[in-house]
């Protein structure tokens, strides 16, 4: 019926005045049903008051479809056929989880980046320090190696192979201590040594003007002056940066009065002692005897007296008297209350807590105690038993001076171990128990004097200055009458 009515209306209109303007439109509605639509222009209205039509409706339908798709993809709504409401929530949850994982990985990568940057900065700092150290070592002159000179015939005769003995020509130089139970292996001068473990401290000492003195250079009075250092030999390796050299003022057979002894004081086990027939052989580096001490030695405070070596046992306050002839320990005793192993050293460190020496009055020990609060204590020792005979406490701190020595019962201290031009700045007289300031010029020619001792045998000062064995002439005044 509807189709017929529309067709009749179409025929009537086409026969009217506006039949050339009528149009027919056919199309499916939203439900898929076919519609035929006739349009006729209005004879009165030039435009319609509202917009509509199938095109607009189709456009709206397509817009609605797009809105549904967008809503489903964003997880907000699902109006498409067959799409469940929970799928959007699951998609959103998966997206959030993936986002959280990405954020976590980004944070981990950022932390790793920061750690690597810190390590890189540390490595750059270490490289810069190594570069500076390399430059410092490159600019530092290397120790000169003394060429080996063939030994003189006399020395060759001394060390030549004994007939029929079958021993190595140099075997008699290396001797063991005669202590029972000692099974240590002997080593030559190139023994393995570990980290030196030496302290190196610094202290500032005020130098004071020198008072006037007696200009007489005879007798056993006060020290007036010290001569220029004379160099006798330079050590061959690092073990000889610090050391001791000495001569027995009352030598005992089998060693003569001209015999000199040397100990290199750097090494994990300092126990080798090299003997030389005289100063010439020492200068050439040709030892005629090598002893292996039964106990490890500490620092540079050893001395020789009446055929025995007196030294401090490593890391203890124990003193040892080692008999050179029998090559055995003749006595041992603790020095009461003495600081050791870095408690009260000289200003250069080196575990120089106990310093032994010999002068015209006998055997001495220079050290400090907790009771003395670091001030120098002087004790005269019995050379046989090592017992303390008498002690004096001074008012100068031990770690404020670089070294000390005793001449004629008077203690003298050196202000600096590194200054090329320094002074002997203090003297303490054990006879009067009085001390006073001095300013006697003294030279550290090589810039690191680790040992200064008085040699009664030569009436000189012996020193060990930065690998170099040196000696100094001394000038004494006349002993004052009581």
Q: State pLDDT tens for residues 265-306.
A: 988 889 999 999 999 999 999 999 999 999 999 999 999 999
150 confidence band (pLDDT: 50, 70, 90): very low
Identify the H or E element spanning 285: none
Which span out of 10-24, 65-79, 216-230 was modeled with the highest average pLDDT? 216-230
Residues in the chain: 482
167 confidence band (pLDDT: 50, 70, 90): very low
Quick one: 203 exposed, middle or buried, by C-beta within 10 A (0-12, 13-18, 19+)?
A: middle
The pLDDT, as a whole number, for residue 58 is: 66
Residue 406, pLDDT > 70, answer yes
Identify the H or E element spanning 453: strand 449-455
Residue 139, pLDDT > 90, answer no
Identify the H or E element spanning 61: helix 54-73
Q: How many whole angstroms separate alpha carbon 220 and alpha carbon 68?
A: 119
The pLDDT, as a whole number, for residue 417 is: 95
Contact 382, 373 (CB under 8 A): no
The pLDDT, as a whole number, for residue 52 is: 54
Q: How many whole angstroms separate alpha carbon 404 and alpha carbon 146?
A: 30
Residue 244, pLDDT > 90, answer yes
Residue 400, pLDDT > 70, answer yes
Chain-centroid distance, C-alpha 447: 22
Q: How many whole angstroms separate alpha carbon 254 and alpha carbon 78?
A: 115
210 confidence band (pLDDT: 50, 70, 90): very low
Between these two residues, 22 and 231, which has the higher pLDDT value? 231
The pLDDT, as a whole number, for residue 331 is: 97
Q: How many whole angstroms separate alpha carbon 121 and alpha carbon 461?
A: 52
22 confidence band (pLDDT: 50, 70, 90): low
Which span out of 28-37, 147-156, 232-241, 364-373 was modeled with the highest average pLDDT? 364-373
Between these two residues, 130 and 344, which has the higher pLDDT value? 344
Alpha-carbon Rg for the chain in angstroms? 51
Residue 24, pLDDT > 50, answer yes
Give the list of residues 6+ apart from residue 394 with CB closer than 8 angstroms, or none: 375, 376, 377, 378, 411, 428, 435
- Calculate mean pLDDT across residues 116-128: 78
Q: State pLDDT tens for residues 56-72.
A: 666 677 677 777 776 66
Own/partner long-range contacts of 33-39 (Cβ < 8 Å, ≥24 apart): 36/3, 36/6, 38/6, 38/9, 38/10, 38/13
Q: How many whole angstroms separate alpha carbon 292 and alpha carbon 317?
A: 21
The pLDDT, as a whole number, for residue 204 is: 39
> According to the 3-state scheme, what is the secondary structure of 366-435?
EECECCCCCEEEEEEECCCCCCEEEEEEEEEEHHHCCEEEEECCEEEEECCCCCCEEEEEEEEECCCCEE
Q: State pLDDT tens for residues 188-208.
A: 333 333 444 444 444 434 333
46 confidence band (pLDDT: 50, 70, 90): low
Residue 316, pLDDT > 70, answer yes
% of the chain residues with pLDDT over 70: 68
Residue 352, pLDDT > 70, answer yes
Structure tokens at 391: 């002690």
Domain boundaries, the chain: 229-476
Q: How many whole angstroms separate alpha carbon 135 and alpha carbon 113?
A: 33
- Calculate mean pLDDT across residues 385-391: 97
Between these two residues, 354 and 100, which has the higher pLDDT value? 354
- Sign of the alpha-carbon torsion through 208, 212, 217, 221: negative
- Calculate mean pLDDT across residues 23-42: 73
Mean pLDDT, all residues of the chain:
78
- Calculate mean pLDDT across residues 98-127: 79
Q: How many whole angstroms separate alpha carbon 243 and alpha carbon 230?
A: 17
Between these two residues, 377 and 175, which has the higher pLDDT value? 377
Q: How many whole angstroms separate alpha carbon 334 and alpha carbon 326?
A: 22
Dihedral over alpha carbons 415, 417, 418, 419 (to 10 degrees): 30
Q: Which of the four CATH numbers 3.30.365.10, 2.40.128.630, 2.130.10.10, 3.40.50.1820 does domain 229-476 have?
A: 2.40.128.630
């Amino acid at each position: 019926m509807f189709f017929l009515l529309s067709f009749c209306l179409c025929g009537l209109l086409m026969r009217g005045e506006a039949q050339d303007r009528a149009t027919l439109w056919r199309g499916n509605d939203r439900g898929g049903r076919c519609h035929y639509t006739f349009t006729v222009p209005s004879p009165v209205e030039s435009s319609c008051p509202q917009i509509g039509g199938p095109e607009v409706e189709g456009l709206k339908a397509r817009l609605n479809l797009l809105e549904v798709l967008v809503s489903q993809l964003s997880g907000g709504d699902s109006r498409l056929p067959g799409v469940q409401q929970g799928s959007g929530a699951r998609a959103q949850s998966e997206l959030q989880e993936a986002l959280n994982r990405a954020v976590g990985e980004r944070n981990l990568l950022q932390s790793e980046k920061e750690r690597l940057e810190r390590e890189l900065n540390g490595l750059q700092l270490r490289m810069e320090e190594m570069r500076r150290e390399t430059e410092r070592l490159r600019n530092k002159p290397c120790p000169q190696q003394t060429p080996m000179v063939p030994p003189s015939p006399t020395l060759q005769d001394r060390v030549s192979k004994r007939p029929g003995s079958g021993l190595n020509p140099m075997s008699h130089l290396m001797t063991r201590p005669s202590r029972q139970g000692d099974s240590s292996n002997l080593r030559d001068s190139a023994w393995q040594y570990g980290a030196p473990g030496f302290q190196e401290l610094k202290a500032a000492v005020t130098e004071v003007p020198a008072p006037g003195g007696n200009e007489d250079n005879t007798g056993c009075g006060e020290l007036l002056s010290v001569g220029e250092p004379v160099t006798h030999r330079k050590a061959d390796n690092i073990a000889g940066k610090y050391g001791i050299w000495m001569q027995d003022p009352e030598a005992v057979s089998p060693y003569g009065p001209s015999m000199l002894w040397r100990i290199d004081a750097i090494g994990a086990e300092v126990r080798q002692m090299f003997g030389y027939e005289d100063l010439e052989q020492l200068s050439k580096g040709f030892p005629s005897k090598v002893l292996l001490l039964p106990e490890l030695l500490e620092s540079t405070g050893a001395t020789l007296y009446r055929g025995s070596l007196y030294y401090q046992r490593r890391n203890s306050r124990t003193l040892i008297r080692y008999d050179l002839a029998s090559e055995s320990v003749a006595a041992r005793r603790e020095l009461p209350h003495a600081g050791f192993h870095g408690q009260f050293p000289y200003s250069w460190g080196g575990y120089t807590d106990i310093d032994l020496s010999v002068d015209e009055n006998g055997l001495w020990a220079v050290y400090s105690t907790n009771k003395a609060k670091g001030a120098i204590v002087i004790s005269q020792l019995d050379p046989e038993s090592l017992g303390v005979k008498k002690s004096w406490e001074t008012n100068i701190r031990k770690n404020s001076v670089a070294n000390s020595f005793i001449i004629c019962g008077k203690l003298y201290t050196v202000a600096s171990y590194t200054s090329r031009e320094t002074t002997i700045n203090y003297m303490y007289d054990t006879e009067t128990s009085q001390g006073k300031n001095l300013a006697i010029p003294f030279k550290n020619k090589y810039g690191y004097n680790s040992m200064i001792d008085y040699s009664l045998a030569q009436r000189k000062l012996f020193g060990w200055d930065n690998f170099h064995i040196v000696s100094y002439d001394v000038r004494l005044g006349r002993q004052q009458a009581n």
